[in-house]
Amino acid sequence: MFSGHHQPLKIWVHCLYLMSLNQSNHQIHQELDLNKDDVQKMAQQLRECACSKTPEVLLDGEVECDEVYIVAGHKGHPEAVKKKAEPGDEND
C-alpha cells in the first residue's frame, strides 16, 4: 500500500492518524504542510484500502435483532402520526 509513493511512511501514518480524528483533507494539508491534491489522493487511497480489507459479515447460529421504530413523516411532530383510538376499539 505504501510502497512506490513519494511521501515517507511517517507522513502516511500521520495522515491516517489525522483521518481517524475526523480531520478534513484541508486540515490535514495544513497540519502536514502538504499539497492539498496530494492529501486528497492519499486520503482516497487509505479509505479504498481500508474498505477493501473489510471482511464480509457472516452470521451463524442464533442471531438476535432489536426492534426499530420509525415514525414516517411529520418530522419533529410524532404525535401527528399516532393512531387515534376510535370509539369501540377493544385493542387497548
Q: Which domain holds residue 16?
A: 9-52
Q: From CA 74, how far away is CA 81, in angstroms rounded? A: 7
**12 has a pLDDT exceeding 70:** yes
- 21 found inside a domain: yes
- Pick the residue with more confidence: 54 or 69? 54
Given pLDDT bands bounded at 50, 70 and 90, which one contains residue 50?
Answer: confident
Mean pLDDT over 39-66 rounds to 86
What number is the average pLDDT over the span 17-41? 93
Q: Is residue 20 a part of any domain in this protein?
A: yes
Q: What is the domain count for the chain?
A: 1
Mean pLDDT of 66-80: 67
Residue 41 corresponds to which cell in the numbers above? 489522493
pLDDT score, position 78: 63
Average pLDDT of the residues of the chain: 80
Between CA 17 and CA 9 the distance in angstroms is 12
